C-alpha cells in the first residue's frame, strides 16, 4: 500500500518534470546573462529518476521489490514548486508571482506564508493581494483564506495547480521586500507562498527582469544555462537566500579558493566598493582562521546603500543596509565594517552553531530560546574584534566600541529588571516592540551579550593562564553541535566549563540568568585595562527630549534620574524653567548654566494643563565607562 502510493507519486513527478521542462523553454525570456556563480554543480533530479526507471524494468520481480525499497528512499524528495516572478511595473512596488504547485492529486491543499523571521512576527501575508488559483488548462479553482497566513484550495484533483498573486514590496528592511525602478530586494519568507507541510520540497524560482535590469544575485543554487533561474533544495534554503535584482556593482574576491562577492546597490560614485571588498576579504580570512575553514561554496555580501539600516545573516550571504557615504569618514566606515563582520560571524554562530530551539522548520509560530545572548551577543563581541584582528582598527577603536556597549548596559535601568536569558526569551514582545518604557524594564541581549562575551573571554583566558580563549569555546561548541541539531543552554555551558577547565555554571547563572550587576575586575586585570572618563560637571536632568513643532517634548524618562524622581512624564512639554521661556534648540545650553545640586523649577504642559515641578539636578553618572589601557599587558596583543 505505502509502496504503491509512492510509486504513483514518483510517476506523477516524472510527468510533471517533463511538462515543466517544456513550459520553462517556452517561457524563458531571452535576456542578458545574469549573475552566474561559477562554482555550482546541480544534477537535475529528472535524470536520476530516469535511470531508476530503467533499472526497474531490467530487474527480476524480487529484485524489483528490493530496488524499489532503495530507490523510493532516493525518490522521496517531493516534486518541486515552480515560481515565476515578474516585475512588470517596478515603480509601483509590485512583484507578480505565479506558482505551479504539485498537489499529488489531493482534493484540497493548504498554502502558507511565513509569519516571522528573526526575531519578530512580521505578518508577511499582509502584503499579498489578488490571490487566485486555477488548473493547468486555465479552469478557475476555489481558493479561500483559512488563517491570517493560509489559503485553502479546492483542487478537484487537479495536479498541478497554478496559484497567482501580487506582493506589495515597499519595506526598506533587510528582512522584507523592496521594489522600485532601480532595484529589487526579495526575501523568500516575504515573497513565496508554499505548501503548508514539513517536507524537503525543492522550490524553483525563475525571475523575469524589467528590460533595463541585467542582474540577479542570490545565494540560491543557479540552474545551469538558465539566466535568473534558481533552485532551492527546500523551503528553508529559499527563505535563507535573499535575491537582489537590478544593476548592482559586483566585486569578486577569493578567500581559501572560494568566491566571495560584494554586491553594491546605490554606490553612485560615492561608496568605494573596491576598497570595501579588499577589507572584507581580510575579515573573511580572520574568521576562516578562527573557525577552521569556510563552510560554503560561495558567499555574497548584498550591500544595499539605500539609506536604511541593519543586517541579516544567512548561510551563504548577508543582506546589509546602510548609507552610500559610509566610506567617506573613517568612523562611519568602521561601523559599516563592524556590521558586515557581525553578519559574517553569524555564518557560524547562528547559522551552523545554533540554539536548538531555532532549528529550521517552523515559520508560523515563534520559537522561544534563552540563548540569544550567545547567538547575537557573542557575535556582537566578536564583530569589532575580527575587524581589529584583520588590522582594520586600532586598539583604541576596539576599546571604544566595547566601551559603548558597557556604557549602554550600565546606564540602562532595565538591566536590573530583566536578565539576559529572559531578554532573549521575550525578544518577540520586547526587543522588537520597544516603547517609551522599554529602557526601564528591558535590556538588549545584543548589548549585555556583547559585554558578557568580553567577560567570559577574559574568564576562560584567566582560568587557563592564557592557554585557551572564547575562540576555543566557539570551536568546541561547533564541533559538538550535531548538524542541524543545535545546542541547549546546558550543553553550551558545559562546553565552556570544559575549555576553561573549571565549572562555570555559577558564572552563567549570575551573568545570564540573574539581574546582578556585572563584575568587570577580572577582565580589566587580565587585559590590563581600566575605566576612565572625564566626569561631566554639567547639571543633568536625565529626561530624553525632542523638539517637535517648536516645542520641547519629553520622550523618555529613565528610572533613577532627577526627572524621574521629580515626576516628569513621557509626553510632557517643557514650557519654561525658572522664570524663563524654553527654547528647544538651546535647551542643552540653557541647562548648562546650572550646577549639580541646583533646584530648578520647571513649567510643564501635560494634556493641556500647566504644571510646576522642581527638579534637583545632579551630575550625570555613567561617563566613566570608558576602557583604556592601564598597563602594557601582553594579553591585549593576542586578543
Ligand atoms: Zn546578529
Confidence of residue 360 (pLDDT cuts 50, 70, 90): confident
Phi, psi of 546 (to 5 degrees): -145, 140
188 and 207 fall within a common domain:
yes
Q: Are residues 461 and 546 in the same domain?
A: no
CB 193 within 8 A of CB 81: no
CATH number at residue 588: 2.30.42.10
639 lies in a domain? no
Distance 639 CA to ligand 1 centre (A): 21
Given a contact cutoff of 8 angstroms between Cβ atoms, the answer to whether 18 and 46 are in contact is: yes
* 378 and 310 within one domain: no
Q: Ligand 1 center to residue 96 CA distance, Å?
A: 31
CB 265 within 8 A of CB 305: yes
Using alpha carbons, select from 81, 72, 50, 57 the residue that is nearest to residue 6: 72
- Mean pLDDT over 557-581 rounds to 96
Give the confidence band of 587 by pLDDT, cuts at 50, 70, 90: very high
* Residue 436 falls inside a structural domain: yes
CA of 379 to the centre of ligand 1 (A): 6
CA 194 – ligand 1 centroid, Å: 27
Find all residues with CB under 8 Å of 229, minimum gap 6, and list them: 24, 28, 204, 205, 206, 207, 222, 223
CATH of the domain at 525: 1.10.390.10
- pLDDT higher than 60, residue 14: no
If pLDDT is split at 50, 70 and 90, which confidence band does 75 have? Answer: low
Mean pLDDT (the chain, rounded): 89
How far, in Å, is the centroid of ligand 1 from the Cα of 456? Answer: 19
Give me the pLDDT at residue 485, please.
Answer: 79
Task: Specify if 278 maps to a domain.
Answer: yes
Q: How far is the CA of 175 from the centre of ligand 1 (A)?
A: 12
Residue with cell 514582545: 429
Ligand 1 centroid to 446 CA: how many Å? Answer: 8
Report the phi/psi class of residue 102: left, alpha or beta, with left for phi > 0 and alpha for psi in -120 to 50: beta
Burial of 595 (0-12, 13-18, 19+ CB in 10 A): exposed
Domain boundary among 246, 277, 308: 246
Ligand 1 centroid – CA 402 distance (Å): 16
76 has pLDDT over 80: no
Rounded to the nearest angstrom, the distance between the alpha carbon of 337 and the centre of ligand 1 is 14
Q: Is residue 234 part of a domain?
A: yes
Average pLDDT over residues 370-389: 98
- Interval 213-242 mean pLDDT: 98
Say how many Å lie between the CA of residue 342 and the centre of ligand 1. 6
- Residue 280: the pLDDT is 98
Residue finishing a domain among 222, 246, 270: 246
> Does residue 626 form part of some domain?
no
Residue 277 Cα to ligand 1 middle (Å): 21
Kindly state whether residues 269 and 176 are assigned to the same domain. Answer: no
For ligand 1, the distance from its centroid to the CA atom of residue 385, given in whole angstroms, is 15
Residues 450 and 400 in one domain: yes
Q: Across residues 613-637, what is the average pLDDT?
A: 92
pLDDT class of 538 with cuts at 50, 70, 90: confident
pLDDT recorded at residue 481: 84
CA 311 to ligand 1 center in whole angstroms: 7
Ligand 1 midpoint to CA 197 (Å): 28
111 in Cβ contact with 101 (< 8 Å): yes
- Closest to 39 measured CA to CA, from 188, 261, 365, 242: 261
Q: Residue 288 maps to which CATH number?
A: 3.30.2010
Regarding whether 137 and 71 lie in a shared domain, the answer is: yes
d(CA 536, CA 419): 30
Domain that holds residue 152: 2-246
| Residue 333: inside a domain | no
Residues 434-459 have pLDDT tens digits of: 999 999 999 999 999 999 999 999 99
pLDDT at 67: 40
What is the chain's percent helix, strand, coil content, to nearest 5? 35, 25, 40
User: pLDDT grade, residue 42 (50/70/90)?
Assistant: very low
Which of 213, 246, 279 finishes a domain? 246
Contact present, 409 and 443 (Cβ < 8 Å): yes
Lowest mean pLDDT among 45-49, 393-397, 486-490: 45-49
Residue at 638 is within a domain? no
pLDDT of 23 reads 36
Q: Could you give the number of structural domains in the chain? A: 4
Mean pLDDT, to the nearest integer, of 619-626?
84
Q: How far is residue 76 from each of residues 107, 208, 223, 453, measured CA to CA in Å?
A: 21, 30, 21, 43
Q: Residue 376 Cα, ligand 1 centroid: separation in angstroms? A: 5
Measured in Å, residue 248 CA sits from the centre of ligand 1 at 25
State the distance from the centre of ligand 1 to the C-alpha of 461, rounded, in angstroms: 25
Compute, in angstroms, the gap from residue 211 CA to the centroid of ligand 1: 36
- Burial of 120 from C-beta contacts in 10 A (0-12 / 13-18 / 19+): middle
Does residue 44 carry a pLDDT above 50? no
Do 122 and 219 share a domain, yes or no? yes
* pLDDT beyond 50 at 7: no
Domain check: are 158 and 229 in the same one? yes
CA distance 114 to 128: 12
Q: Evaluate whether residue 557 is within a structural domain.
A: yes
Residue 344 has pLDDT above 80, yes or no: yes
Spatial CB neighbours of 14, under 8 Å, sequence gap ≥ 6: 46, 49, 50, 53
How many angstroms separate the alpha carbon of residue 343 from the centre of ligand 1?
6
Q: Are residues 525 and 546 in the same domain?
A: no
Give distance in angstroms: CA of 115 to centre of ligand 1: 20
Residues 192 and 297 reside in one and the same domain: no
The whole-angstrom separation of Cα 616 and Cα 540 is 9
**Is the same domain home to 264 and 230?**
no
Amino acid at each position: 500500500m505505502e509502496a504503491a502510493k509512492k510509486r504513483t507519486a514518483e510517476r506523477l513527478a516524472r510527468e510533471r518534470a517533463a511538462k515543466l521542462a517544456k513550459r520553462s523553454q517556452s517561457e524563458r525570456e531571452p535576456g542578458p546573462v545574469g549573475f552566474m556563480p561559477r562554482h555550482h554543480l546541480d544534477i537535475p533530479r529528472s535524470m536520476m529518476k530516469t535511470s531508476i526507471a530503467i533499472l526497474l524494468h531490467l530487474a527480476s520481480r524480487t529484485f524489483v521489490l528490493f530496488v524499489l525499497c532503495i530507490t523510493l528512499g532516493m525518490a522521496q524528495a517531493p516534486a518541486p514548486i515552480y515560481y515565476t516572478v515578474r516585475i512588470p511595473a517596478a515603480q509601483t512596488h509590485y512583484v507578480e508571482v505565479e506558482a505551479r504547485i504539485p498537489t499529488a492529486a489531493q482534493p484540497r491543499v493548504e498554502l502558507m506564508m511565513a509569519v516571522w523571521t528573526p526575531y519578530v512576527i512580521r505578518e508577511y501575508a499582509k502584503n499579498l493581494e489578488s490571490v487566485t488559483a486555477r488548473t493547468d488548462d486555465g479552469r478557475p479553482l476555489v481558493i479561500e483564506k483559512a488563517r491570517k497566513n493560509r489559503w485553502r484550495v479546492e483542487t478537484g484533483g487537479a495536479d498541478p495547480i497554478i496559484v497567482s498573486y501580487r506582493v506589495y514590496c515597499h519595506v526598506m528592511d533587510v528582512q522584507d521586500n523592496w521594489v522600485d525602478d532601480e532595484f529589487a530586494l526579495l526575501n523568500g519568507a516575504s515573497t513565496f507562498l508554499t505548501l503548508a507541510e514539513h517536507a524537503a520540497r525543492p522550490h524553483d524560482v525563475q525571475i523575469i527582469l524589467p528590460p533595463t535590469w541585467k542582474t540577479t544575485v542570490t545565494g540560491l543554487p543557479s540552474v545551469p544555462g538558465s539566466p535568473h533561474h534558481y533552485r532551492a533544495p527546500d523551503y528553508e534554503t529559499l527563505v535563507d537566500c535573499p535575491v537582489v535584482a537590478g544593476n548592482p556593482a559586483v566585486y569578486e574576491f577569493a578567500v581559501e579558493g572560494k568566491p566571495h562577492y560584494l554586491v553594491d546597490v546605490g554606490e553612485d560614485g560615492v561608496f568605494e566598493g573596491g576598497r570595501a571588498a579588499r577589507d572584507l576579504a581580510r575579515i573573511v580570512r580572520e574568521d576562516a582562521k578562527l573557525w577552521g575553514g569556510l563552510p560554503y561554496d560561495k558567499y555574497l555580501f548584498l550591500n544595499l546603500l539605500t539609506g536604511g539600516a541593519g543586517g541579516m545573516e544567512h548561510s551563504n550571504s548577508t543582506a546589509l543596509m546602510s548609507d552610500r557615504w559610509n566610506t567617506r569618514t573613517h568612523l562611519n566606515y568602521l561601523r559599516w565594517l563592524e556590521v558586515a563582520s557581525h553578519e559574517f560571524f553569524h555564518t557560524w554562530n547562528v547559522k551552523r552553531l545554533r540554539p536548538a530551539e531555532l532549528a529550521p522548520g517552523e515559520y508560523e509560530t515563534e520559537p522561544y530560546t534563552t540563548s540569544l545572548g550567545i547567538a547575537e551577543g557573542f557575535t556582537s563581541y566578536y564583530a569589532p574584534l575580527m575587524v581589529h584582528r584583520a588590522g582594520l582598527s586600532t586598539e583604541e577603536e576596539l576599546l571604544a566600541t566595547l566601551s559603548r556597549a558597557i556604557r549602554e548596559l550600565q546606564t540602562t535601568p532595565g538591566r536590573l529588571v530583566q536578565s539576559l536569558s529572559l531578554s532573549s526569551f521575550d525578544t518577540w514582545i520586547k526587543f522588537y516592540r520597544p516603547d517609551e518604557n522599554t529602557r526601564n524594564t528591558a535590556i538588549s541581549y545584543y548589548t549585555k551579550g556583547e559585554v558578557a562575551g568580553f567577560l567570559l573571554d577574559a574568564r576562560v583566558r584567566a582560568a587557563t593562564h592564557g592557554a585557551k580563549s572564547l575562540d576555543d569555546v566557539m570551536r568546541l561548541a561547533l564541533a559538538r553541535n550535531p548538524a542541524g541539531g543545535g545546542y541547549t543552554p546546558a550543553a553550551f555551558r558545559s562546553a565552556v566549563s570544559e575549555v576553561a577547565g573549571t565549572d562555570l555554571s555559577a558564572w552563567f547563572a549570575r551573568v545570564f540568568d540573574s539581574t546582578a550587576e556585572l563584575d568587570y575586575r577580572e577582565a580589566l586585570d587580565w587585559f590590563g585595562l581600566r575605566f576612565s572618563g572625564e566626569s561631566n560637571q554639567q547639571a543633568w536632568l536625565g529626561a530624553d527630549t525632542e523638539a517637535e513643532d517648536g516645542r520641547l517634548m519629553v520622550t523618555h524618562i529613565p528610572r533613577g534620574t532627577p526627572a524621574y524622581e521629580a515626576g516628569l512624564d513621557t509626553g510632557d512639554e517643557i514650557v519654561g524653567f525658572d522664570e524663563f521661556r524654553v527654547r528647544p534648540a538651546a535647551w542643552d545650553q540653557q541647562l548648562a548654566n546650572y550646577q549639580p545640586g541646583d533646584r530648578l523649577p520647571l513649567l510643564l504642559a501635560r494634556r493641556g494643563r500647566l504644571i510646576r515641578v522642581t527638579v534637583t539636578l545632579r551630575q550625570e553618572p555613567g561617563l566613566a565607562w570608558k576602557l583604556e589601557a592601564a598597563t602594557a599587558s601582553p594579553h591585549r596583543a593576542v586578543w
